[in-house]
Amino acid sequence: MLAMSKASSKGDAKMNEQKMLDKFNKVKELINGREAETFKEKYFARFFTGDITLVFGETPYTLSFHKGTMIDTIKGTPLTGINFGLEGTQAKWDEFFEHRNFQLATSPPHNPNHLGFLGSTLAFRQNNNVIAHLMRIIAKVMAN
């Protein structure tokens, strides 16, 4: 019985991971497609090459970009360490996916349920426009 439930929870986790990766593929389609000009030009992503790591509960995903084009998503953190990103419980992420206000989601003085910063604070500020627009697209995709 125990073995079965372990297997089933492992199976659930695998399914969730696959669902998340599918969602990030949808994000990739949008960010490289109809959002590409806004992302690269208005929000300056054409200057961004690097990784953004997002941790949902305990599970990290890393999105890789080259000059504003989204290349890949992996489950896990980069071998070179986290450049910058955000982390939060699923409840905090769900709250953000609903209001979709990135600046509110990342403002501790305004929001007790804010998402936490990961990695380099300097890199986060330097690329604030990039991550802000990316996160709005992720929120749309996650909330369908």
Footprint of other proteins on this chain (CB under 8 A)? 43-44, 101-104, 107-110, 117, 121-122, 124-126, 128-129, 132-133
Please give the distance of CA 77 from its chain centroid, rounded to a whole number.
12
CB 61 within 8 A of CB 54: yes
DSSP result, 93-108: HHHHHHH--HHHHT-T
Question: Please, what is the minimum distance in Å from the beta carbon of residue 111 to other proteins?
Answer: 9
Residue 24 or 39 with smaller CB distance to other proteins: 39
Question: Please, what is the minimum distance in Å from the beta carbon of residue 43 to other proteins?
Answer: 7
Question: Please, what is the minimum distance in Å from the beta carbon of residue 103 to other proteins?
Answer: 4
| Amino acid identity, position 131 | I
Residue 16 or 103 with smaller CB distance to other proteins: 103
Residue 37 or 72 with smaller CB distance to other proteins: 37
| Entry field: residues in the chain | 144
Residue 69 or 120 with smaller CB distance to other proteins: 120
Question: Please, what is the minimum distance in Å from the beta carbon of residue 23 to other proteins?
Answer: 23
Taken in order 141, 45, 107, 84, the sign of the CA dihedral is positive
Residue 71 phi/psi, 5-degree rounding, is -95, -45
